[in-house]
Amino acid sequence: MYVLVSPCLLDPSLRAEGITKESDLRAFGAALERCRRFGIEVVPLPCPETAYLGRGRAPGTYVERLDTPAFADVLDRMEEEVLAVVEKRGPPLCIVGVDSSPCCGVNTTWHDEKRDGRGAFLARFPGIRAVDVLEFARYRVYFAAPLFSEAEQDFNKKVRDILEEAYYDIYLPQEVGDTDATRARSSQREIFRRHVAALGEVDAVVAVVDGADADSGTAWEMGYAHARGIPVIALRTDFRRAGHNEHVNLMLEESSTVVTAVEEIVPALEQAFRRG
């Protein structure tokens, strides 16, 4: 498995001068770490802007700097290079681009002004899924759920496995010692500390809210995440409803995105990360 990535993820100096922020560098690093974590090979795209304008260039829109026959020739040549890679290796998992780039934008690009759509280079590969680096960099998920019975633990592992198959790194409390009803007070403090620390480092929370009422620990974790601005995806497979308009407790539902099937979790995570 491999991904095609904008080359500036590996070498930020390829970008126009003055546009790279510390948050960009953190996202580039997290995206590459996700690939390392799951054994995804990183294959850099060629950089049309650098080939045409060189390094150390000033920022500019496509119309200002790149709308020329000579640059179209550069795009033609580099498109052939990329298609040769895809033909040899098979389709990539995706292209990881950088939004707003005149060439490698995924959702937005600077054309004559900032507009929706792919940049000039990525637009040449409409059949390959493209993901903005800020979205791809968000992959750490805290899995909040009751874990007191064998059935609950087995279900949690099933969902964990599905999420890991989509290349999400899952923190599952039952796998870090939170399964002992006879634990000492000191162990309770350590488990609480560990879970709160994990909640502070993840990009999203997936929470199971089945039952007549949601598990109290899960509800606490959901509220904590919401207060910190961390998106919460609530999984409710229980067909009982809390009211005429609510799947579950109103406060939990209004602070999360509720899905009703396991297969809806990944699309909901992708949408949450796309919203930023």
Given a cut of 90, is residue 148 above it in pLDDT? no
Given a cut of 80, is residue 241 above it in pLDDT? no
Where are the domain boundaries for CATH 3.40.50.450 in the chain?
A: 140-275
**Long-range residue pairs from 219-224, CB within 8 A, at least 24 positions apart, any chain:** 219/249, 219/252, 221/142, 221/144, 221/195, 222/144, 222/252, 222/255, 222/256, 223/251, 223/255, 224/196, 224/199
Average of per-residue pLDDT across 132-150: 94
Given a cut of 90, is residue 110 above it in pLDDT? yes
Given a cut of 90, is residue 104 above it in pLDDT? yes
The two beta strands, 204-208 and 140-144, are parallel
> For 140-275, CATH number?
3.40.50.450
- What pLDDT sits at residue 214? 87
The residue length of the chain stands at 276
Q: What is the mean pLDDT of the chain?
A: 92
Helices 216-227, 185-199: axis angle to 10 degrees equals 40
Residue identified by tokens 């910190």 is 228
Q: Among 35, 1, 5, which residue's Cα sits nearest to residue 169?
A: 35
Q: What angle do CA 158, 199, 206 make, to 5 degrees?
A: 35
Given a cut of 60, is residue 181 above it in pLDDT? no
Query: Cα dist. 145→44, 164, 171, 172, 254 in Å?
Result: 39, 17, 11, 9, 18
Kindly report whether the global pTM for this prediction surpasses the value 0.75. yes
Q: Which amino acid is at 27?
A: A
Residue identified by tokens 């606490």 is 220
- What pLDDT sits at residue 103? 97
Given a cut of 90, is residue 72 above it in pLDDT? yes
Given a cut of 60, is residue 244 above it in pLDDT? no
Please indicate whether residue 260 or residue 176 has the higher confidence score (pLDDT): 260
- What pLDDT sits at residue 180? 59
Q: How do residues 186-230 score in pLDDT, each as one tens digit?
A: 678 888 899 999 999 999 999 999 887 889 999 999 999 999 999
